[in-house]
Structure 1
Amino acid sequence: MHGLIYKDLYNLKKYMRQLLLIIAVMGVLFGMQDTGASFLGVYTVMVSMMVVISSMSYDEFAKWDKFVLTMPVSRKTLVGSKYLLGLLVTAGGSLIAIAIYLVIGIITRKGMTLEDLVGIIGCFFACLLMLGVLLPLLYKFGVEKARMMILCVALLPTLGVVLLSKTGLLENGISEEFLQTLAFVAPVIIVVLFIASFFLSVSIVTKKEF
């Protein structure tokens, strides 16, 4: 599997360098602001999704899946490499965001707040959730046919905030007990859904004819 991941990273190395440079620049520009951590977290989510989507787009254009399956590579391994790629890129982006904030904290002597760290970690798990929804769709319909679905998945966080605002929960305030419970329960649920998404993608690819 490490060979498949190396292939993806090698193909996308120039693209990823550009994205990392943008993260660094945006981190410096927004690091002085209170909403900077939120921006970096959200941007990390989008970058992670774009890297995985770009990887699958390259594979689809080159008919890579059809070729690689002629070698001793199982479909489960093929799917697992994309999930692991998404996980690695998301974790790497989150660590970079944290590192940027630590550096900015040293320079400004403000330090990195707990809220900043929680925000970035929250966006990390949000990315896993979005990838878990997106990857089965990409395997089922392909990158070109699933473009509108990709947009819908990217808008899911915004839709969630809108729905919460309609219920009045945001205006009335959310209890601290609820937030503490959510902080422990949500990551577990997301990890379970991410694993379930992997097996769903394996099932889709197993039935698919290339």
Structure 2
Amino acid sequence: MKGLLIKDFKLMKGQKNFFLAIVAIALAMITLSPGTSFAIGFLGFVGSLFSLSSISYDEFDNGNAFLFSLPITRKEYVLEKYTFGVLCGIAFLFLGTLISFFSILITDKGNLREMFLTACTLLPVILLLLSIMLPFVLKFGGEKGRIAILGMMGFLFVAGILLTKIAEYMKIDFYPLVKRLSQIDPRVYILFFLFLAITALAVSCLVSQSILNKKEF
């Protein structure tokens, strides 16, 4: 797995101009809107999604056929993609947090506590996104996988609207529940969702291994 990680990090190194561009965008946005947490979410999401791009690179020109002729197993390949996605997500999330931190110190706008809470909240979100998207990309490939992800997101959006309309029709009031939940310490939420995200990532990894074991190259 170490060799696969080195390969993907070298691919990332070849994309340094792209990463410099997204860092420049984050710096520009936080300069225009100091005190915001835009850089944290933006860099965290873009960094974690590079694992999807690395799968597309592996598929290019039937590269997987050559890749799996090397002494690596499909299980190792899947574990490496998840590890690579998590490492990139955390690294870029940390970079975004640093940018926001120095922005608040320099401009004296924003709140450090809220900034750190935002960063901690986005970590489980990034893990959940990886757990959802990686199986789709491994199943359908880089291009079709992205279309499948968009289709799933659209379905969830429509389902959310339908549930809201049903709740309104049945006169279900969620306000008391939301008010009660808002009184709970945010750290409890973060730990709870982090546990859910790690669990989802572990299940997703097993699903991805099953998907890759059935594929022929």
Give the whole-Å Cα distance in 2 for the aligned partners of 1:99 and 1:157. Answer: 33
- 1:201 maps to what in 2? 208
Distance 1:83 1:201 in 2: 10
One-letter code aligned to 2:134: L
Give the alignment partner of residue 177 of structure 1, picking from 179, 184, 193: 184
Deviation at residue 112 of structure 1 after TM alignment: 5.1
Q: Does residue 1:7 correspond to 2:32, yes or no?
A: no
Aligned counterpart, 2:87: 88
Name the CA shift for 1:82/1:2 in 2 (closer, same or farther; >3 Å).
Answer: same
Please give the TM-score of this superposition, normalised by the length of structure 2.
0.80
TM-score of the aligned structures, taking structure 1 as reference length: 0.82
Inter-CA distance 176–62: structure 2 relative to 1 (3 Å threshold): farther
Q: Single out whichever of 56-65 and 198-207 deviates more from structure 2.
A: 56-65
Task: Note if contact 2:29-2:39 (Cα within 8 Å) is conserved in structure 1.
Answer: no
- Which is further off, 184-193 or 40-49? 40-49
User: Conserved in 2, the CA contact under 8 Å of 1:105 and 1:112?
Assistant: yes
Post-superposition offset of 1:123: 1.6
Aligned CA distance change for structure 1 residues 165 and 44 (closer, same or farther; 3 Å): farther
Give me the whole-angstrom Cα distance separating, in 2, the residues matched to 1:200 and 1:87. Answer: 17
**Structure 1 counterpart SS, 2:135:** helix
The equivalent of 2:170 in structure 1 is: none
- TM-superposed CA distance for 1:6, in Å, is 1.4
Q: Deviations over 1:76-122 (max 9, x none)?
A: 11111110110011001111011112222332245751111111222
2:132 touches 2:204 (CA, 8 Å); kept in 1? yes
The answer (yes or no) to whether the contact 1:52–1:85 under 8 Å persists in 2 is: yes
Q: Give the corresponding residue for 2:103.
A: 104
What residue is the counterpart of 1:150 in the other structure?
Answer: 149
Counterpart CA distance in 2 for 1:155 and 1:49 is: 21
Identify the residue that residue 117 of structure 2 maps to in structure 1. 118
1:151-199 CA deviation, whole Å, 9 max, x = no partner?
Answer: 2466799779868976675796552228554222111011011011111
What amino acid is aligned across from residue 151 of structure 1 in structure 2? L
Asked if the contact 1:27/1:36 (under 8 Å) is kept, the reply is no
Cα gap change, 1:158/1:90 in structure 2, threshold over 3 Å: closer, same or farther? farther
Cα separation, 2, equivalents of 1:123 and 1:28: 21
Give me the whole-angstrom Cα distance separating, in 2, the residues matched to 1:187 and 1:193: 10
Give identity over the alignment, percent: 28
Residue of structure 1 aligned with 2:199, choices 192, 195, 198: 192
Q: Secondary structure at the match of 2:142?
A: coil
- Using the TM superposition, give the Cα deviation of residue 33 of structure 1 relative to its aligned residue in structure 2, in angstroms: 3.4
SS at match of 1:176: coil
Check whether the contact 2:104–2:112 (CA below 8 A) recurs between aligned residues. Answer: no
RMSD (CA atoms): 3.2
CA distance in 2, matches of 1:107, 1:159: 42
Measured in 1, the distance between the counterparts of 2:202 and 2:52 equals 19
The DSSP-based 3-state class of the residue aligned with 1:72 is coil
Which residue identity is paired with 2:33?
Answer: Q
Aligned to 2:27: 27
Q: Distance in 2 between matches of 1:184 and 1:194?
A: 15
